[in-house]
Every structure is written in structure tokens, then in C-alpha cells.
Structure 1
Amino acid sequence: MSTHEGAPAGVEVLVPAEPGSPVVLITDCDHDSFDAEIAVAQQAGVELRLAQARSLDELVAAATGAAGLVVQYAQITAAVMDAMPGLQAISRYGVGVDSVDVAAASARGIVVCNVPDYGTEAVSDHAIALALAASRGIARLDRGVRAGRFDLEAIRPVPQVRGSIFGVVGVGRIGHATALKARGLGYDVIGFDVQAPAGATEYHGVPVAPLDEVLRRADVVSLHTPLTEATHHLVGGRELALLRPAAVLVNTSRGGVVDTDALVAALRDGGLRAAGIDVHEDEPVPLGHPLTRLDNVVLTPHLAWYTEESYTELKRRTAQNVVEAIAGRRPRNVVNGETR
């Protein structure tokens, strides 16, 4: 571990800088390299530090003197901000900023940034892959072959793609890309988006309808909405009951958009045929979690965003956002607009 004058104990200095230079702290991160962030920091002349801090006490201790934070999982609350009077910017790896109290940041004049469009192709690819894998029972068939079983009944009914209806909930960048790919495969696509004007029949080129109608009609429902107070458990017991028993649910957005207990019950009791889930209310998924014991679920560990290209872009742009903000320039992606 590198050390540097002024760095708190247990904090690695990735890029040392001249005394008095701004400090950016990566609060926590499970990535395997930081080459992109290092290159940005070196070019900007800022000191870049790395910690693995999640709790309030850990964050406050690690972030001494930091002007900017780069965040993966850590919860950046008002209490964290109040303990860091020099904090100017928070930049999160990824699209969602539900781990940051954005209102508190705005009230304190702290800029909050994200990277909303880095994983559009990767996540939409993954959503389609999960939809097909769950619809055709690929994982269950694979396990059967390895165990010497031929079990068609376990995956029936298997509908063909052409003529099936693919529902997209959230027709933003990723949802729109997913809709286009689904249409290219032969699905009939229908969508829902809270931002669509009242009475609209099309939004961003996708036919739209009320959420309940999409849920009732779709053979596959793919979720692409951010996690907010309004979308927490957007798909719960009532919504799952609207789905046809032969339908498939795919979630590559945020785990909290779906009520996990209700999803487990629907999958277990036959209310829903299958699901493909990349994001989870508890991450990492606990060993023995009920979802892991169901054969009609395809699970991946919140990696829909990953391709080599998206990985590099995410890291570079997350670092660029925080560096721009602490330099007094407007970053490319600001979540909270004007601060005071």
C-alpha cells in the first residue's frame, strides 16, 4: 500500500500530488484495476486515494480532506456530508444514485454526478439474453443434461419469439435499446414510461400503454426504471398477479423495483413461469436465498452492465465527472442541477 503525507491510515494513495492539491477519494470499489481513474487524476493534477469504507465512521475517517468522492456501494448520507465540510462533489459509478442523499447534497451545494449512458448496449444485450434464457428454460435444461436427464415437461410451455409480446417498463436509453433489439428478434413490443404524456400511444418510437395493460398483455416484461421512492416495489404482489402464469419477468434495473418476497411466491406457486434477475434487493445475494433454490429463475450478480468497453468508459467518466466538478466546471452528467 502506498502512503503519502496527510493520507489517513488504511487509505491507499493511487496518485500522489503536490501539497495543497485537491483530493479525490474512491470510497469503496470492487473493481480489479484503477488505470482509467489514475490516468484522469494524473492529467488533472489531483491526488487520488482508495479506501474500502462503507460505514459512517469508516467514511469520515477515510475522507479527511477530500474535495470529491467516487462511490460504488457506500451510502453517502447527510451525516457523511456534514462530517466533510470541504466536500464539493460526489460521483457514482453507474446510472443509479439511490445510495446518495441527493436532496441533502443539493442543500449543501454539493454536486452529484452519475454516468447514465455508459452501459446502454451491455444492459440491453443482457436483458435480451435473460429473457431468452428464462423463456426457453436454458439454465434448467443445462442442469438436466449434466445430471443425465431429458425433461421437456419442466420447461413447458415454450413459446416462439415471433408473435410474442415483449413489455418494456421504462423506455429510457436502456429500455429503448432493449425494445429495438426485442423487435429485431420478432417480438411485438409494448412499453410503459411514467414520463410519457397522458394519453400517449407512442413514446420514443415505442407503442405505450398503462402499466397494468402492459403487465396483462406481455409474454415477457423487462424492467428498466430507476429506483426512486415512486418506483420502490413498483412490481409487487398486485402487479405480479396481473401477469399471465406463462409470462417471464426480467429485471436489470434495480433490485428494489421488485418486491422479492412477492416474486418468490409467484415463481414458487405458479403465478409466474420464470424470471431472469440481475439485480437484487440484497447484494451480494445471501447464500441460501429463496431465489437461489428455484429452478425457474436465471440469476446473475448485477453484471448486466459489463463489457470491456463499458467497464473502461464507466471508470473514466466517473473520474472525469468529479474532477470537473471540483475544478469549478460543469461535469458532463449532473444529477442535481443547480445547487446552493
Structure 2
Amino acid sequence: MSIRVLAAGDHFVLNRLLVDAVRAETSADLEFTELTLPWPVVPFGRVAEVTEASGTEDELIEALRGVRVCVTQMAPLTRRVLEACPDLEFFGVSRGGPVNANLEAATEHGVAVAFAPGRNAAATAEHTLGMIMAAARRIPQTHADLHAGLWRGDYYRYEQVGPEIEGSTVGLVGYGAVGSRVARMLGALGARVLVHDPYASDLGGVAEAVPLDELLSRSQILSLHARVTPETTGMIGAAELAALPEGAVVVNCARGALLDYDALCDALDRGHLYAAACDVFPEEPIPAGSRLLTTPNLTITPHLAGASKQTAMNAAAILAKDVARHLNGEPLLHCANPEVQKTK
């Protein structure tokens, strides 16, 4: 008897990528059904008790009837969905963290939740490097001026120009899959790289590990790459920004919760910071009237650092390996609730 699998993709991690990846990993007799969620055309949000989800509980419940395996990026795995779908046994989230899944409820119902760490590490690292360059060289501002018919020679004044990467000291807060890649890129460009990450034991000779206060005092460019935890939430605030050298550049392509954005805008308004560039924000989409939309010398992109074709393909491929392992009765490589596996 065939195993029913739901591919609940969206307009980034496409259903065909999920289906093809799973088929490539297993020869099991699978019957696929598909549900296309509206993200990113419609922003993700809270659905019942889970966050950063797309679609509705009702449509997912209907699509999951008789389904044992679901692969998705954004579908909301809520307590209500779990209670209504007793056949479900595996829920794969093709993201670095399954924030759209209620792990406690999934564990209670014996549903294993898998995820896809590192799927967008290369894309995010490349975007970070691009944001550093865009901010330091004011590429977006000069581009906008030229489109408006302005050829501004004053951008060449000494007090208007920014630092080069070569010869600069760059501080990275976090040295995981993204931060370590950024460090290698910056090293290749001739930067001195400092790292603050209490969990990184081997920097491979690429960077120097230092305490946070030393990193801040020495860094002409600061880039954030830490995960959000109770310890890292708001870790870069007014005092930390003030500790940076005059004319520093700040970049955040990690998570909005790491940085105090009001303090960032204040530091830009005062001229203490030369520039900043951010891909993530405390509220997404950015609300109308936010200071982030009018603060000078701030480059912003709409949370798309990880947006590449390779990211979508990587996400499907990582998840597909755990689908195959689940169907073979093997321990999952990336299980968010491993206690479920111990009881089987």
C-alpha cells in the first residue's frame, strides 16, 4: 500500500522541488498530494500558537487527511491540526528552525518534526558581504541619486567616503554556518576578522576570538550572526553601539531581535555610525511611519538574505534525506523533538 505524502510548498520552496527531492532519496511507494501556500506573496505571520507560518489550519487539516508524511516550509503545525490528523507521523520543515511547528504538541502526538539547518548559509553569507559593501560605499544612495538625475560630487569629499574592507578590522558576533563563511570571505579580501562566539571552539586560523567588549572597541565594521536566545536578545544596544569606533558600519542579516533598532537609528542620526545595513527587523513587514524608512545612511532589504535558487533546492534536499530515514526506520539527522524517536 502506498504511503501518502503531502508537499505543502510555496512560491519559494516549490512543490516540485520537494517532490523531486523526496523521490530521489527513496524508492518507497509514495502517493503525493500538493498544497501551495501563499508565502512570500502574502507575508507569513502567526497562526494560532505558532509563528512565521503561511496558510490556515483548516486548509492544512483538509490536505492532511490520510497523510503520513508532510514536507513543507511554512505550513502551521498547531495543536488543532495535530488533533485532527491522526495519521500524520512525520512533519518536515525546510527551514533552519521549525518555528511554525508546535513541538510540544507534536511530541505528545508522536509526530517527528525535522528541519533543514544550513540550507541558506552560503546565500546569507554572500548577501551579508554585499550589504557590507553597499553600506560602506553608499551604493544604494548614489544609485538613487543618479536615477533622480543628480550627479553629486560631494560624495567624494573625505568626510563622506567610507572604509575599505581591505585593512579594516571586522567584528563578527556569531561563528556558525553563516558567520564562518563571512569570515573566510572577509579574510580573502584582506580584512582582520575578530569573532565573539562562546560556542565556537575552532576558528581555523581565519579569525581571532575576543570578548565582546574588545570586539566592539576594535571593529570598524560589525556584522551580527548569532542565534536568538534569551542571552542574545537585544545584545547590541545603545551602549554597545557607542563602544564602536566613530564612523563604524553595522550590518544585521541574522535576526531583528539581536539589535536595538531605535538605538541604531539614534547612532546614525548623531553621525556616530557611518552607515548600517539590515535585512531583518523587529516587525516584518516594516510598519508605515517607522524610523527605519527615513533614517539616513541605512540600507535595508526585505528579509531576503537567504533567497537563492540553491537555498530552495538545498532545503528540499536536506529534508528529503530525513524523509527517507524515517521511512526506513532510521534515526533522523535533524530532528527537533528527538524524544519522539526514542519512544518508537
Shorter-chain TM-score: which interval?
0.7 to 0.9
Q: Which runs of 5+ in 2 are unaligned?
A: 38-53
Q: Deviations over 1:36-81 (max 9, x none)?
A: 2122455541423214354445544544444334343455444544
Cα distance in 2, alignment partners of residues 291 and 309 from structure 1 = 30
Residues 32, 111 of structure 1: alpha-carbon distance in 2 compared, 3 angstrom cutoff: closer
User: 2:262, 2:327 → 1: CA distance?
Assistant: 42
CA drift of 1:125 comes to: 1.4
- In the aligned structure 1, how far is the partner of 2:68 from the partner of 2:239? 45
Query: Where do 1:319-330 residues align within 5 Å?
Result: 319-322=320-323, 324-325=325-326, 328-330=329-331
Taking a change above 3 Å as real, the CA distance of residues 231 and 74 of structure 1, as seen in their structure-2 partners, is farther
- Pick closer, same or farther for the CA change 1:221–1:70 going to 2, 3 Å: farther
Q: Deviations over 1:172-202 (max 9, x none)?
A: 12211110110110110000113146xxxx6
1:94 equivalenced with 2:95 (yes/no): yes
Q: How far apart, in 2, do the equivalents of 1:287 and 1:267 lie?
A: 20
Letter in 1 for 2:181: A
1:185 to 183, 189, 201: 189
Q: Which runs of 5+ in 1 are unaligned?
A: 1-17
The superposition leaves residues 11-60 of structure 1 with CA deviations (integer Å, 9 ceiling, x where unpaired) of xxxxxxx7x6233251x623274322122455541423214354445544
Match of 2:177 in 1: 173
Q: Does 1:257 align with 2:258?
A: yes
CA deviation profile, 1:151-175 (whole Å, cap 9, x unmatched) = 3259724122222111111111221
> Alignment partner of 1:22: what SS?
strand
- 1:36–1:78: structure 2 CA closer, same or farther, 3 Å change rule? same
Identity, in percent, stands at 30
Q: Whole-Å Cα distance in 2 between the matches of residues 238 and 65 of structure 1?
A: 55
Q: Does residue 160 of structure 1 match 2:145?
A: no
TM-score scaled to structure 2, two decimals?
A: 0.79
Residue matched to 1:246: 247
Counterparts of 1:122 and 1:280 in 2: how far apart (Å)? Answer: 18
Q: Distance in 2 between matches of 1:306 and 1:131?
A: 17
Measure, in 2, the Cα distance between the counterparts of 1:86 and 1:154. Answer: 67
Native 8 Å contact 2:22 2:323 kept in 1? no
Distance in structure 2 (CA, Å) of the matches to 1:310 and 1:78: 29
Paired residues, number: 317
- Say if 1:137 and 1:155, in contact at 8 Å, map to a contact too: no
Cα distance between partner residues in 1 of 2:31 and 2:249: 48
CA RMSD of aligned residues (A): 3.0
Partner SS, residue 160 of structure 2: coil
1:71-110 C-alpha deviation (Å, 9 max, x unpaired): 4345544454444443323322222333434455445443
Q: Deviations over 1:239-286 (max 9, x none)?
A: 333333411121222233223333333333434332221223333444
Question: 1:21 corresponds to which residue?
Answer: 3
State the match for 2:217 in structure 1.
Answer: 216
Query: Are the equivalent residues in 1 in contact too, given 2:125–2:182 (CA < 8 A)?
Result: yes
The amino acid that maps onto 2:134 is A
Superposed counterparts of 1:50-129, under 5 Å: 50-52=35-37, 53-106=54-107, 108-129=109-130
Distance 1:23 1:259 in 2: 42
In 1, the alpha carbon distance for the partners of 2:106 and 2:168 equals: 45
Q: Which moved more, 1:132-141 or 1:32-41?
A: 32-41
